[in-house]
A and B are shown apart, each in its own frame.
Chain A
């Protein structure tokens, strides 16, 4: 069975640019969550979406936004990139609105120069 997939795997951007990261959940999973993992730290929660609605938001600035599509895939957008946005961005999916067990994708590694 296919797991959570994310694209692209790696990305290099410059300060001030905008980036869009994509995530496809496990088939049958309706909830998608996004996490940021800076080198040497554990993942930090950014957003959770269920049925195209935002259900949770972490402590991230408004430069970060996301959306979920009718097929339950999701996009994470980051505007006005800063050097500090360089990180591994992880997507996780779960079956229900209230995610019990979340299953993570391989991540997108973003480098901001």
Chain B
């Protein structure tokens, strides 16, 4: 079973920041938080990952709470092309599988 909890769906206005929450209250000290997204049943696309520090790349920012029990993926300026299912996954970096939950369906509206 997935070790994360995400809202099933969210809406966001185009051009605004999209903040996607994820709860992972049972996360272990050696587990990372990964985010992927999937558009129209294409293959999942890697977005970002982190251990305990906040991370930023060209796609998004990842904010992890100090106790590491939850995190937020931030898309700073959402576009219609960001409409997708977003998956939050916790895993040991040396593990050999990723356990996907149901994810959050983000709909960006004009």
Instruction: Please give the residue numbers on chain A whose beta carbons come within 8 Å of chain B beta carbons, in ascending order.
Output: 4, 33, 35, 37, 41-45, 48, 55-56, 58, 88, 90, 92, 98-107, 109
What's the nearest-Cβ distance from chain B to residue A83, in Å?
19
Q: How many pairs of residues, A versus B, come closer than 8 Å at their CB atoms? A: 56
In angstroms, Cα B42 to Cα A17, docked, is: 26
In angstroms, Cα B44 to Cα A88, docked, is: 12
Known A42-B87, A43-B98; 14 more pairs at CB < 8 Å: A42-B100, A42-B102, A42-B103, A43-B44, A48-B96, A58-B97, A90-B43, A92-B43, A98-B93, A98-B94, A98-B96, A100-B49, A102-B46, A103-B46
What's the nearest-Cβ distance from chain A to residue B105, in Å?
11
What's the nearest-Cβ distance from chain A to residue B56, in Å?
16
Residues from chain A with a CB closer than 8 A to the CB of B49 are: 100-101
